Amino acid sequence: MPQLIVTTAKGETHVLEAESGITAMMAIRDAGLEGLLALCGGVCSCATCHVHVDPASQSLLDEMSEDENELLDGSLRRNEHSRLSCQILITPARDGLRLTIADED
């Protein structure tokens, strides 16, 4: 299974085994990591699954959709590494993806 390496807002790092086909949000949520509410359940409408992608992992991801981009615009914590984890699909090619859970707005 692809590995997903997630740092919480408190700075703890966890290595998750994530099944291909689920999203990064689901992997983080199901691991019970702190600080990811994912209130809307993955339909790109709450921004409570906000993560920062490690610069070294950036190239593993596709461009974000207009929906994702617009929703992130509403976040005070947006930076150049921001993504919504519910829009990141886990695939074998994304093995080793590193993310940090963003602080809540």
| Contact residues for other proteins, defined by CB under 8 A | 20-22, 26, 29-30, 32, 37-46, 65-67, 70-71, 89
Binding-site size for ligand FES (CB under 6 A) equals 13
> What's the min distance (Å) between Cβ of 65 and ligand FES?
12
Residues with Cβ within 8 Å of residue 83, at least 6 apart in sequence: 50, 51, 52, 53, 61, 64, 68, 72, 99
Nearer to ligand FES among residue 7 and residue 75 (C-beta): 75
Q: Which two tokens stand for residue 89?
A: 């699909």
Q: Does 90 engage in binding with ligand FES (CB under 6 A)?
A: no
Burial of 47 (0-12, 13-18, 19+ CB in 10 A): buried
Binding mask 29-58 for ligand FES (x = CB under 6 A): ---------xxx-x-xxxxxx---------
Nearer to ligand FES among residue 87 and residue 98 (C-beta): 87
